[in-house]
Amino acid sequence: MTGGAGVSGTLRGARRPGPAWVVMLVCTLLACTNNPYPDADADKKILYTSFREAPRTLDPAVAYTTSAHAITGAVYETLLEYHYLKRPYTLIPGLAAGLPDTRSDAEGVTVYRFELRPGVLYQEDPSFGLGGAGRTTREVSTADIEFQLMRLADPAVNSPVVEPLSNVLGFRDFGERLRVRREAEPEFATLPAHEQYADVGPIEGVVVDAPLGLAVYVASDYPQILYWFAMPFTTPMPWEAVQYYDGEDGRPRLADHPVGAGPYVLAEYDKQARYVLDVNPNWYGVRHPEWKAPAATYPSEGEPEDLAAGRLDPAYVGRPLPFIERLEARREKEAIPYFNKFLQGYYDAAGVIRESFDKVIHEGGLSDEMARRGISLEKSVEPTVFYIGFNMDDEVIGTVAQEPGRKLRQAMSLVVDTEEYNRLFSNGRGVPAQSPLPPGIFGYDPDYVNPYRLVDLERARGLMKAAGYADGIDPETGKPLTLTFDTPDTSAQGRLRFEFFTHAWRQLGIDVEVAATNYNKFQEKVRNGAYQIFMWGWVADYPDPENFLFLLWSDMARSASGGPNTANFKHPRYDELYLEMKSKPNGEERMVLIREMTDILQRERPWIELNHAEDYALFHDWLSNVKPFGMSFPTVKYRDLDAGARTRQREAWNEPVLWPLYALIIIFVAVTVPGVVTFIRERQ
């Protein structure tokens, strides 16, 4: 019992019966310690983290959320990975022996040829018994990657990344063949997936030319495809697991039981309470440290700030990964308990739940209390953008409204003070956004200032007047212009945010009503196009401007294709520039195109860009090698911790304070005894 020393210490002198006995009784009964972990785990290298909601699925073909990637990224291994320390983000080989050979094939097609490391094994899993009695693992082959790519194309799997991967030749065609075949032969649809795929024939652009060789044929204007090979979507997937984990006869579903070749295995998974990742003894980094594989060895190069932060400590450089033997994530629905437990030393880092760290950081730095506790802070700008969007199909604020609509949007943009917004809602965290592109992404210009993202009430009022809404009065009704801000967020914090925006717009005389409905109603509104203003965010899949600018491409318009262009922004010149920019390599030419695109956005204002989130990771001093990583990519394998130091600190910080208990008992006795005495005396 961690608090035991404190308890017995307080009680030592008290032998006579009295309040001390009660305290002792209460403490033994209720185990007076706030340590949430079994005492036996105190000295193990276990990293404690948390999750808010269990991911809906852990199927790497579908899982697309940060909380899911925290598991799938550690359990599934990919051909490529990002360098842990280098910025801008750089791809390094993962399962692949090296970066792929790239050559141009026929007209407009590029071939990427991967070579897989030999002798890489999957984790131990009973499903491999399907491939031969008694087998519990097998070697990873490129056919498994082909299988997974087929799954991505399979309409029944319903992968969210069909769109970008359709740049692979024959990708959509494969899905279509599958669909037609299934409709024609209901029998066929009941076969195991890998048999169906084999029967339908390969994806044209995916060629397994050797057991460990894989060539992928991709449209030349989509060089970003490589990034997808650094994401769990394209992991090798054993067909055995897909067939075996079908949710029938007590077997879990694949969505709840990942089977991969990554550094960790999911040892325990209770969606309501916790999950545990244990080191995978079959991981190639563990079995073959002598390979010194780039993704299984602590990196030796990085940025200057890494050296300063001790992330290039010679004690770690070149050592085989991983260091942490187990990761235990507990469910924390509420931010406060999570953060308090972090302060008590029961979580090692507060970097997963965002709400928590804005509580302790003021004016960009750590509070004194945090610093005293040896807590460190790592800031990094995430490749994200948060924005308020206008529905450009709307009659009042959209493209239809022509010039008045544009002026209205410009005016509304001019009064939203992002600095203040950041100060109030994230303690100054976040970079005020001038365009959709965040720092660290090509095309971001630190010197660019969007004239409509300055705060200028006077100019905004002028624009309102020019738009025909002098003082915000709608000439048709003679009353303030009324707009609606739709959101599915009914939380308390959400309400405050919206109140902030509506207050800003009320200065212009615009009355914006917040319609915080439930998610169903919100989706229905979005589907029907019955919305005016909304708030949204985008987290990059990969570090390329294309992944941001496509959010305003007319092909992606929600109203037309159900795409993520919820603003329904349709601008022919923008589209033209976008398509040209997309396949260009980073360089001056591309920069010029991007600049013209941002100019269009600056003028048209389909969005009010708010900020690019800044990640403030707090961690205790016993945790080392922490570097914030913007992309949804787990970095547990690089981290290390000192369990002994942790235990000592926890004990020092969590000694139970018992005097209030004594005080309560004394007050109770003091108040009741006279009454009891009088009562008894009266009856004599």
Partner 1 sequence: MLAYVIRRMAYGVIVVLGVLFFLFLLFFTVTSPDDVARKALGERVPEAVVEQWKVNHGYDKPLFPEPGAWTDNMLVEHYRRMLTFDFGRSDADDTPIADRLRAGVGPSLALTVPLFTFSLLASIPLALLVALFRDTYIDRMGVVLCVLAMSVSILLYIIGAQYLIGRLLHWFPISGFDADPRVVVRFLALPLLVGLVAGIGGDVRFYRTVFIEESNTDFVRTARAKGCGEARIMGRHVLRNSLIPILTQVVLAIPFLFTGSLLLESFFGIPGLGAITVDAINGNDFSVLRTMVYIGSLLFVGGQILTDLSYGLVDPRVRLE
Partner 2 sequence: MEAWVFSNIVVAILITAAVGLTGVVLRSRMWSNAFLSLWRRRRVAIIAIGFYVLVALLDSVSWVGGEQFGEDAVAKYQAQSILDRAFAGIRERSYSAPLASVEFYGGAPLVHPGRHLLGTDLLGRDVLHLALKGARVALLIGGLTSLIAIPLALLFGVSAGYFGGRIDDFVFFIMSTLASMPGLLLLITLIMVMGKSTFSVCIALAVTGWVGFCRVSRGETIKLRELEYISAARALGVGEMRIIFRHILPNLAHLVIITFVLMFSGLVLSEAILSWLGIGVDGSWGQMIDQARDELSRDPIVWWNISAAGSALFGLILAVNFVGDALRDVMDPRTLREGE
Min dist. Cβ of residue 618 to partner 2 (A): 12
The per-residue DSSP string of 4-66 comes to HHHHHHHHTT--SSSHHHHHHHHHHHHT-----S-GGGTTS-EEEEEESS--S---TTT--SH
Residue whose tokens read 């048209």: 604
Instruction: Give yes or no for residue 528 binding partner 1 (CB under 8 A).
Output: no
Contact flags string 297-336 toward partner 2, x per CB under 8 A = --------------------------------------xx
The residue (of 116 and 335) whose beta carbon lies closer to partner 2 is 335
CA atoms within 13 A on the CB side of 140: 30
Instruction: Give yes or no for residue 519 binding partner 1 (CB under 8 A).
Output: yes
Question: Which two three-digit tokens encode residue 122?
Answer: 């999957």
Min dist. Cβ of residue 6 to partner 2 (A): 24
Among 190, 272, 477, 684, binds partner 1 (CB under 8 A): 272
Amino acid type, 579: L
Contact 433, 448 (CB under 8 A): no
Min dist. Cβ of residue 156 to partner 1 (A): 8
Contact 560, 199 (CB under 8 A): no
Min dist. Cβ of residue 48 to partner 2 (A): 19
The one of partner 2, partner 1, none whose footprint includes residue 500, by CB under 5 to 8 A per kind, is partner 2
How many residues touch partner 2 under the rule CB under 8 A: the total is 40
Q: CA-CA distance, 412 to 478, in Å (whole number)?
A: 20
The one of partner 2, partner 1, none whose footprint includes residue 8, by CB under 5 to 8 A per kind, is none
Chain length of the chain? 684
Q: 279: Cβ–Cβ under 8 A, 6 or more apart, which residues?
A: 263, 264, 265, 286, 322, 324, 325, 326
Min dist. Cβ of residue 508 to partner 2 (A): 6
Q: What share of the chain is helix, strand, coil (3-state, %, to 5)?
A: 40, 20, 40
Among 101, 371, 523, 537, binds partner 1 (CB under 8 A): 523
Q: Parallel, antiparallel, or unpaired for β 326-331 and 46-51?
A: parallel
The one of partner 2, partner 1, none whose footprint includes residue 573, by CB under 5 to 8 A per kind, is none
Contact 327, 277 (CB under 8 A): yes
How many residues touch partner 1 under the rule CB under 8 A: the total is 61
Among 326, 423, 459, 595, binds partner 2 (CB under 8 A): 423
Q: CA-CA distance, 147 to 602, in Å (whole number)?
A: 44
The residue (of 319 and 362) whose beta carbon lies closer to partner 2 is 362
Min dist. Cβ of residue 350 to partner 2 (A): 11
Q: What DSSP state is assigned to residue 168? A: B
Q: Which of these, 217, 219, 185, lies nearest to 199 by C-alpha position?
A: 185
Question: Which two three-digit tokens encode residue 560?
Answer: 């037309």
Phi/psi zone of residue 440: left (φ > 0), alpha (ψ -120 to 50 degrees), beta? left
Instruction: Give yes or no for residue 330 binding partner 1 (CB under 8 A).
Output: yes
Site for partner 2 in 490-519 (CB under 8 A): 490-493, 495-496, 499-500, 503, 506-511, 516-518
Min dist. Cβ of residue 442 to partner 1 (A): 27
Q: Which stretch binds partner 1 (CB under 8 A): 51-59, 69-77, 200-208, 366-374?
A: 51-59
Question: Which two three-digit tokens encode residue 89?
Answer: 């983000």
Amino acid type, 541: D
Binding site for partner 1 (CB under 8 A): 3, 30-38, 53-54, 56-57, 155-156, 158, 160, 179, 247, 253, 255-256, 270-273, 330-334, 336-337, 340-341, 343-344, 346, 518-520, 523-524, 526-527, 562-563, 653-658, 660, 671-672, 675-676, 678-679
Binding site for partner 2 (CB under 8 A): 335-336, 339-340, 355-356, 359-360, 362-363, 367, 369, 420, 423-425, 471-473, 479-480, 490-493, 495-496, 499-500, 503, 506-511, 516-518, 521
